[in-house]
Structure 1
Amino acid sequence: MPAEPTTASTAARDLLGEHAQTVAEQATRHALTLESILAVLRSSRLDATAARTEAIEVASAALIGLRTATDQQRSSLLEPVTHAFTRLRDDLRPLVRFGELDVQFIEPPASGRALPGDVARAARTIVRTAVLALIDAGTARRVRIQWDCDGRNLLVEVRDDGDGMLDAHDDAIRPIAERVAALDGHLRVSSTPTWGSQIDITIPLDAPAFSGTIDDQQDLTERERDVLRLVVTGAANQEIAHTLNISINTAKYHVANLLRKFGARSRAELAALSR
């Protein structure tokens, strides 16, 4: 029978998981900031002086956000769903004003249940990642973002008018799928050629029961055990794929499954549990 984790090991696990989540969310936010600055500088609606002023404002706001991000992410307070959605809209505002993508926001009901801090942050990161993926694809001109809450789950919908070729196994969707799986949520992608694609995401508001350890008797395939051993060493997806002679998409798929099976929020937490 596995030993109960000590207070010190539990704290270390939580810190590792929180650090990994912070790094991932900040990376997405920085990418969005850079895309926004580029959109401002490339805009044909602004002259050089106005573009410089707007770019400075975007960069300044991002710098302020960076300085406070760690404190915000450590907070465990509930966040009203409308407030969480407004923060997302504020994140995307520079891109909406000066980019080529027309972003429409469908406000969630004000009566929706307040979101746990980690769910609100994850949902914003997921949507930001999806919007950046659509920009990279370059086929969509309009995207609609909608949030709702059914009392137990946050429901996120991202719909575009692109070429309708998006698939759940695309590389652009993999980071989103992995994050949704880590939250014990569900993701569905539906596409119609020439009409566009829709991403539907369901994120539980209440975290699943956490076992606190990984039992060797858990129902793992041999391949999943191989992947888990490499995750523990800190190997990235590309290194896992090379070592096991599998595709990087397959490696990402196995990591996402492991996160889901054990209720871990990050690779660091999964590794800490295994140890």
Structure 2
Amino acid sequence: MLQGLSNVLASPLGLMIPALSELISPLVPHSALVMLAADVGGGRVQGTGDPAFVRGVRGLELDRLRKRLEASDGIRSGVLAIDGAAHPTLELLSRNGALLVIAEPGSGAGEQAGTLLALWDIVALHVQERADEAKPDYLQHARAIAGTRLKALTELEDEYAAAVESVLVALRSKRLSDAQARDEAVGRAVDALTRLSGAVDQVRTLTEESVTISFDRLKEDLRPVSRYSPVQLQFVDPPVDGRPLPGEVSLGARAVVYRAVLTLVEGEEVGHIRIHWDCDGTNLLIRMQDDGPGSSAAAKTLLGRIRERIWSLNGTVGVDTTPGWGTRIDVVLPLDPPRTHPASSAMAGMRPREVQVAALMVAGHRNRAIADELRISENTVKFHVSRILRQLGADSRAEAIAVLTAGQRG
């Protein structure tokens, strides 16, 4: 079992669910597995096994199952209707909120449920760790996708609503005499508009997460630190009525705090870390404070480990040190995706090193300073700058910086 679990964890993300299916088959025979989790590509629905079941399961339905399981012990037997056929299921919710649905589990599934949940906890946490350690540019890409997705949904809703309203106007015209047909058409049009509005709300809910749930998952992520480190963690809960967080902001915020805490714990003479989240309706506000020596060198190391991930979400970070009083970190992450700007598509096509060079250009660094910061040659920096100018359609370094800066403001 341990060797099989090791093989699952070593698998590429796209093959992890098939590997997990093979691992648990001797315990619980099944026809299909489907998971709803977050990985380095953002929210992910992935399945293996019976194609009809895998294709027929909808993400919104999985999200509803996940919410039901949040109020239980993480294990539930149920039934899913796919194309008119009822499929018995065993549903498992990991500690970090990832859902696994086992279709048509064989006899004895109930006896193995605890073992299955333990295995799923390990696999789901591993998937989350891969997402947390992903390159920051994936978060930037996810933000751009989120903005496009919400814009498309809004446009679709407006267009469809306008079409339905025009139909209603036509059907209510005095030139139409068949009242019964008109009433039937009006009723169907209203029902269609209601269903569309509900579907849009559900899609938005699927791509968002309550700030309190996200914070609870952060506590779960940091539980090993509290258990195995002498450093005490104090959590200040966010308001329960705070605005929901987009999925990529929730994932990125937890990754930033997790990495910051591990960096602080590695330092000397830190005995206490206070973690506070708040939401002002527009931004997620993160504040961390330790009681360490307040070393400027340690603060520089900390900033280097979290800065790029924060920038990728269009956020800002400030680190203040007071000798003898500790280090304070303030992070602001905007909840709304940035507006699309000509620089966005060019940035999405840049290589990771080019993104780093572009960020340092915007910060005012010259080629020599960029080379020192990234530990590459000045000629290599010149090569990257040349490619950046071509991708942005800029004729000069100043013009490129102006385009990039405008994109950040947008």
Does the TM-score normalized on the shorter chain lie above 0.5? yes
Query: Would you say 1:65 and 2:129 are equivalent positions?
Result: no
Query: Would you say 1:243 and 2:243 are equivalent positions?
Result: no
Structure 2, unpaired ranges of 5+? 1-38, 44-116, 133-138, 143-202, 348-355, 362-370, 381-400
What is the rounded CA distance, in whole Å, between the counterparts of 1:65 and 1:190 in structure 2?
A: 32
Quick check: 1:154–1:204 contact (8 Å CA) kept in 2? Answer: yes
Query: Would you say 1:88 and 2:218 are equivalent positions?
Result: yes
Quick check: 1:101–1:143 contact (8 Å CA) kept in 2? Answer: yes
Partner of 1:111: 241
Distance 1:21 1:136, change over 3 A: farther
Deviations 1:175-218 (A, max 9, x none): 31111111111111111101111000000000111324339xxx
Query: Would you say 1:151 and 2:285 are equivalent positions?
Result: no
Indicate the SS of the match to 2:328: strand
Amino acid at match of 1:197: T
Structure 1, unpaired ranges of 5+? 1-17, 23-56, 216-222, 229-236, 247-256, 264-275
How many angstroms does 1:137 deviate by? 1.2
Partner of 1:128: 258
Distance 1:214 1:87, change over 3 A: same
Alignment of structure 1 residues 75-224 onto 2, 5 Å:
77-166=207-296, 170-211=300-341, 212-214=344-346, 224=357
What is the rounded CA distance, in whole Å, between the counterparts of 2:119 and 2:320 in structure 1?
A: 35
What is the rounded CA distance, in whole Å, between the counterparts of 1:70 and 1:197 in structure 2?
A: 28
Q: Alignment length, in residue pairs?
A: 188
How many angstroms does 1:224 deviate by? 4.8
What is the rounded CA distance, in whole Å, between the counterparts of 1:101 and 1:82 in structure 2?
A: 23
Quick check: 1:163–1:194 contact (8 Å CA) kept in 2? Answer: yes
Quick check: 2:271–2:292 contact (8 Å CA) kept in 1? Answer: yes
Quick check: 2:233–2:275 contact (8 Å CA) kept in 1? Answer: yes
Distance 1:165 1:227, change over 3 A: closer
What is the rounded CA distance, in whole Å, between the counterparts of 1:88 and 1:134 in structure 2?
A: 16
Indicate the SS of the match to 1:171: helix
RMSD: 4.2
Amino acid at match of 1:109: P
How many angstroms does 1:63 deviate by? 3.3
Quick check: 1:189–1:199 contact (8 Å CA) kept in 2? Answer: yes
How many angstroms does 1:98 deviate by? 2.5
Quick check: 1:158–1:198 contact (8 Å CA) kept in 2? Answer: yes
What is the rounded CA distance, in whole Å, between the counterparts of 1:226 and 1:160 in structure 2?
A: 29
Query: Which of these two proteins has the greater Rg computed from alpha carbons?
Result: 2
What is the rounded CA distance, in whole Å, between the counterparts of 2:120 and 2:372 in structure 1?
A: 35
Larger relative contact order (Cα-Cα within 8 Å, sequence gap ≥ 6): 1
Amino acid at match of 1:121: L
What is the rounded CA distance, in whole Å, between the counterparts of 2:229 and 2:119 in structure 1?
A: 16
Between stretches 167-176 and 71-80, larger displacement belongs to 71-80
Quick check: 1:167–1:190 contact (8 Å CA) kept in 2? Answer: no
Distance 1:164 1:207, change over 3 A: same
What is the rounded CA distance, in whole Å, between the counterparts of 1:186 and 1:83 in structure 2?
A: 23
Indicate the SS of the match to 2:295: coil
Deviations 1:24-69 (A, max 9, x none): xxxxxxxxxxxxxxxxxxxxxxxxxxxxxxxxx9998443322577
Quick check: 2:299–2:321 contact (8 Å CA) kept in 1? Answer: no
Between stretches 63-72 and 78-87, larger displacement belongs to 63-72
Moved over 3 A (4+): 18-22, 57-64, 67-76, 166-169, 223-228, 237-240, 260-263
Deviations 1:139-162 (A, max 9, x none): 211000000000000000010000
Amino acid at match of 1:65: L
How many angstroms does 1:103 deviate by? 0.4
Quick check: 1:140–1:162 contact (8 Å CA) kept in 2? Answer: yes
Quick check: 2:303–2:319 contact (8 Å CA) kept in 1? Answer: no
What is the rounded CA distance, in whole Å, between the counterparts of 1:58 and 1:170 in structure 2?
A: 39
Higher strand share: 2
Amino acid at match of 2:327: S
How many angstroms does 1:163 deviate by? 0.3
Indicate the SS of the match to 2:274: strand
Partner of 1:49: none
Quick check: 2:40–2:130 contact (8 Å CA) kept in 1? Answer: no
Quick check: 1:168–1:188 contact (8 Å CA) kept in 2? Answer: no
Quick check: 1:227–1:240 contact (8 Å CA) kept in 2? Answer: no
